[in-house]
Amino acid sequence: MSTVKDLLKQKPLLQEVTLKGWVRTFRSNRFIALNDGSCLGNLQCVVDFESMDEALLRRITTGAAIAVTGTLVESQGRGQSVEIQVKDLEILGDADPETYPIQPKKHSLEFLREQAHLRVRTSTFSAVMRIRAALSFAVHQYFTSRNFYYFHAPIITGSDAEGAGEMFRVTTLDPKSPPLDETGEVDYKKDFFGKETNLTVSGQLEAESYAMGLGKVYTFGPTFRAENSNTSRHLAEFWMIEPEMAFYDLDANMDLAEDFIQEVLKYVLENCQEDLEFLEKRLADEEKSKPAAERSEMPLIEKLRFVTDQPFKRVTYTEAIDILRNSKPNKKKKFQFPIDEWGADLQSEHERFLVEKHFKCPVILFNYPAKIKAFYMRLNEDGKTVRAMDVLFPGIGEIVGGSQREERLDVLVEKMEALGIEEKELWWYLELRKFGTAPHSGFGLGFERLVQFATGMGNIRDVIPFPRTPQNAEF
Ligand code: 4AD
Ligand code: MG
């Protein structure tokens, strides 16, 4: 069986072909635009309505699944080189035009979000999801070809890697007879067959364990955050790519993050041209309806080339704070959260200012104050900053968070104590420092934020098939 993608590349040799797909449009009782998902384009299938059963003709409606057999001939119409002269047509599945929600007109992204099970049949979502698949392939190719081992971190775990308490509990608890503690209260710490567990927020701690034996590993899997964030950058379930490397320091870690992002975006530029051009045009149309000040200055493809062609700017947290203290986001407005002192956490308005207004390129911020970062990051000699790094992207903000890890047992234990993290909770993680400890580093890249950047989609809910947010887990 042929695909639209293959047929559109073929010469009209008058050979007989069979094609199956979904009707996008049916014009003048004659021209079917058939799409099978293999590429953005449709293949025109021309039916001879005079010789066709009328009842059958009426069932050729937008959304119906059909199979056609016919000859591939030179197309008389504009915009395509070949078309199928249909000899035989079979309806595989009807789509009642009265109730099928995806009609051949422009639907809003909000409307399509409510049709998450059908929206991939639109050009926009099929283009986004093909790019998502290409990026995912590029990720595996990048690491595998550089001798990293793909490692599967557990989804159910007892540890809170980020120490931020944003976990979904996993429970086998019988609500009728829950385990009780000494005071007679429900003991939630015994909810998973007597143990306390949650869905992973990050595979990092387990990846560290594997880097200490396999050298260079990476995870690429779903992670979960029970944060009640309703932004265009946050999901409750998102996919994260987390490489972890023995013997890498922070500089080597930053080099890897930069090279990795550039290479996977180059892969998309080289392999997804048609989908990118379509999304670029879509975005340009959308931009026209925005006020001039909010419009993006660069077309999508140019923006991708721009970040793949030049080094990212590396700046310490301390330098960034100095810049922010002496800046105003624009002539009239101050930052909503003014930066008064060293040690303050950066808000997304600050990150975006640095990237979009000040440096005008991707930025890697490093050496953050220890107080605002997770417990596992390596303390610098100054005793107050840690070897953390965040990669900040135009239009996105933070796309990567990573660090060199604290490999010294005594320093790590002291830090955990200060934060009230019990040693017995992470005994196995501490053993990695007791037996053959070594400097090591890694980072986590939020895959959906990367897909957002590559496709220009403004809302993270539109780059994952079935988004999970505080409002939505229906599908
Ligand atoms: O900065 P984060 O929290 O870092 C970690 O989890 C580290 N353990 C990673 C590591 O060093 N191995 O998350 C990493 C990235 C962020 O930079 C962001 O791109 C993405 O994950 N991210 C989210 N993406 C979508 N929705 C959310 N709720 C996200 N939270 C983080
Ligand atoms: Mg972070």
Ligand 1 in reach of 161 Cβ (< 6 A): yes
Nearest to 269, CA basis, from 246, 299, 236: 299
Would you say 17 and 70 are in contact if contact means Cβ atoms under 8 Å apart? yes
Q: Is 282 in the pocket of ligand 1 (CB under 6 A)?
A: no
How much is the pTM?
A: 0.95
Residue 204 CB–ligand 1 contact under 6 Å: yes
Ligand (nearest to CA of 218): 1
- Residue 69 Cα to ligand 2 middle (Å): 53
pLDDT of residue 332: 67
Helix (H, G, I), strand (E, B) or coil at 87: strand
Nearest CA to ligand 1 atom 18: 446
Alpha-carbon distance of 399 to 382, in angstroms, equals 27
DSSP run (H or E) holding 130:
helix 123-144
The pLDDT of residue 327: 85
Give the model's pLDDT for residue 131.
98
Q: In ligand 1, which atom is closest to the CA atom of 400?
A: 17
Which residue CA neighbors atom 6 of ligand 1 most closely? 202
Cβ of 225 below 6 Å from ligand 1? yes
Q: Three-class SS of residue 354?
A: helix
pLDDT value at position 328?
79
Residue type, 123: S
Does residue 206 line the site of ligand 1, with CB under 6 A?
A: no
Tell me if 202 CB under 6 Å of ligand 1: yes
Q: pLDDT by residue for the chain (475 residues), tens digit each?
A: 899 999 999 988 888 999 999 999 999 999 999 999 999 999 999 999 998 999 999 999 999 999 999 999 999 877 789 999 999 999 999 999 999 999 988 999 999 999 999 999 999 999 999 999 999 999 999 999 999 999 999 999 988 877 777 888 888 777 777 778 888 887 776 666 777 889 999 999 999 999 999 999 999 999 999 988 789 999 999 999 999 999 999 999 999 999 999 999 999 999 999 999 999 999 999 888 888 777 777 899 999 999 999 999 999 999 999 999 988 777 667 788 888 789 999 998 999 999 999 999 999 999 999 999 999 999 999 999 999 999 999 999 999 999 999 999 999 999 999 999 999 989 999 999 999 999 999 999 999 999 999 999 999 999 999 999 877 766 7
Residue type (1 letter), 88: D
32 lines ligand 1 (CB under 6 A): no
Nearest to 110, CA basis, from 468, 470, 458, 475: 458
Q: Does ligand 1 come within 6 angstroms of the Cβ of 218?
A: no
**H-helix or E-strand containing 239?**
strand 237-246
Instruction: Give the residue, out of 168, 231, 238, with the most ligand 1 atoms within 8 A of its beta carbon, to mutate for a pocket test.
Output: 238
216 CA to middle of ligand 1, Å?
A: 20
DSSP-assigned letter for residue 451: H
- Go through the domains of the chain in sequence order and give each one's CATH number: 4-102 (2.40.50.140), 121-166+201-462 (3.30.930.10)
Report how far Cα 448 is from the mean position of its chain's Cα atoms: 1
Q: What angle do CA 325, 319, 385 make, to 5 degrees?
A: 110
